[in-house]
Structure 1
């Protein structure tokens, strides 16, 4: 009986001790938290007053008045730009988006001239690109329809002498001088002095690039890019626009693309001869390489040559 009483008293004392320790610990951390919250400075930056009206006035004087500083670039005569609330005007956002896309600079590069924050520039670029896709997507950002394919067959046969030709496919390494430091190792090749992005494109005779595949990282060539490209997804899924054509009394199910020698030997690719000996093969080689200048010309336009 005495042992049980002593055990109970010891347990009560332990509970009291643990309770007092917990109370002191909670009070200690509450005091520390109160001191920290009182001593913590306000790390949030106050909003900057960028004077949006001054940026708008400067842009109008440089480009959109009769005696503009850069009148040779373009001129728009419209006296309604100044209407609306005092803030960033639509023309400021459009010009910032166009420059961001044209020069590839960081978003905060244009704060000094346009008086716009980097967040506003990023949002403007996103909305600008979304609007461009919405307005021009149905006309330009699409694959050829059946009528387009018939027209491509006719024009390519008349211009290059290749019936059933859909276009030319090739890849181009695009220099990326402003590549982020964290990605430089992924986009570096030993045969290039700076980082590059590889572009796969299909081009018709009139420089219509109706297929473009950008951006796979690594030391890629045309074959690696083709393995990752969605160019033949419709064929794999069984949803292609099969437009047959006839040549030399032979019916072919679909058209083909002109390529260089690195592409695999598929029926949809027409390559040139490596070392032609016969006159017919020499003539075919010259015609095929001449027709493939369409895609090379398109790459030259993209590179502004």
Structure 2
């Protein structure tokens, strides 16, 4: 800066005729240099990075202290119940996440417990689910399965035809399996909205562990007949598979009416889970405005994981806690790891058993009789009480 002022002083004295009469060039250069040094030492008047911008004292330190006192202090303004209502998590959960970041020195994504909250049930958890569903009249039922559409407002124009289905707008599909407590045990997201539930099921990995021989065994008896595979409750669009039980669209007899009523009642578990998922996380309720399908997939899976965390905290279900290193073998396969890799012929045979229609019809017929025994008899738990 000083050199610039000196050059300017040299040009000024050399380009004017009256400057030599007033003061010599050496004196003027010294004066300009002195002014430049004084200006360089003087503190600038503005505090921002751009001249003229005004800075405000936002009291960030005081805000941090208020936040800690309001939520985590000994006399907190928001107690644990209010904290849970506002942020959906207990203070202990938030505290543990922060402590993990400090202790392990890594980002949140590298330390999260997402896999714990989005996986298939192990043997002990499956036993609990089967017991609950057996009490509801469906022995061998693992859960209910269905699909949900999420509108994609900023879908690229070139993909509009592929992602536009019966909704009339571009959507992405989430296939999920839920149980009575609304916990989601399976989530398959990302297929275009032009697919129907059958197309999604044929591309879904929901039966991969069963076909590979890595799923926990499910043995049960209905109406005196044994079965060796669990099943899901579905709506009418799904195919007749041995692992899927649909309702009866036009029931005629009393037995069929009783079965249809109970099946449709229990099948709504997954629809209730979708409703709670969208109500809790508003980003899933309205059209998404993001551009990349990868970002939408991350958002959906994050919401499902958070949904399961909230469900477990609210329901207070006493399910066994299994660590990542506590999966002993075939009954409890590790996450994203196949214990048994079958051959192509074995895989085809396994899927032929899963998709066997004769077993599906026999299972539904036995469930109709079993439900009538429970619901239609005077001694069953579902019997209608008669007024005297």
Normalising by structure 1, report the TM-score.
0.57
Question: For 1:61-76, what aligned pairs fall within 5 Å after superposition?
Answer: 64=67, 66=69, 73=86
Contact 1:201 1:209 in 2 (8 A): yes
Residue 264 of structure 1, aligned match among 239, 251, 255: 239
Taking the aligned partners of 1:59 and 1:291, their CA distance within structure 2 comes to: 52
1:6-51 deviation digits (Å, cap 9, x = unpaired): xxxxxxxxxxxxxxxxxxxxxxxxxxxxxxxxxxxxxxxxxxx7xx
1:215 aligns with 2:180: no
Taking the aligned partners of 1:206 and 1:142, their CA distance within structure 2 comes to: 15
User: CA shift at 1:130, angstroms?
Assistant: 3.9
Question: For 1:173-212, what aligned pairs fall within 5 Å after superposition?
Answer: 173-179=149-155, 183-189=159-165, 191-212=166-187
Taking the aligned partners of 2:62 and 2:160, their CA distance within structure 1 comes to: 35
User: CA shift at 1:273, angstroms?
Assistant: 0.6
- Relative to 1, partners in 2 of residues 1:180 and 1:277: Cα closer, same or farther, differing over 3 Å? same
SS of equivalent residue, structure 1 residue 137: helix
1:225-272 deviation digits (Å, cap 9, x = unpaired): 011101111222232322201222221102111001111111111111
Question: For 1:21-170, what aligned pairs fall within 5 Å after superposition?
Answer: 57=60, 60=63, 64=67, 66=69, 73=86, 127-132=107-112, 135-138=113-116, 140-158=117-135, 160-170=136-146
Taking the aligned partners of 1:296 and 1:76, their CA distance within structure 2 comes to: 26
1:206-237 deviation digits (Å, cap 9, x = unpaired): 11111000001251110110111011112222
State the match for 1:9 in structure 2.
none
Taking the aligned partners of 1:56 and 1:277, their CA distance within structure 2 comes to: 72
Q: Which has the higher contact order (CA 8 A, sep 6+)?
A: 2
1:259-301 deviation digits (Å, cap 9, x = unpaired): 0111111111111111111001001000000001110100001
1:300 aligns with 2:280: no
Taking the aligned partners of 1:67 and 1:277, their CA distance within structure 2 comes to: 61
Unaligned runs of 5+ in 1: 1-48, 78-89, 95-125
1:36-93 deviation digits (Å, cap 9, x = unpaired): xxxxxxxxxxxxx7xxxx899399469825579xx8846999xxxxxxxxxxxx98xx
Taking the aligned partners of 2:266 and 2:132, their CA distance within structure 1 comes to: 12
SS of equivalent residue, structure 1 residue 220: coil
Taking the aligned partners of 1:267 and 1:67, their CA distance within structure 2 comes to: 55
Unaligned runs of 5+ in 2: 1-48, 50-56, 72-77, 92-96, 281-388
- RMSD over aligned Cα atoms: 3.7
SS of equivalent residue, structure 1 residue 215: strand
1:244 aligns with 2:224: no
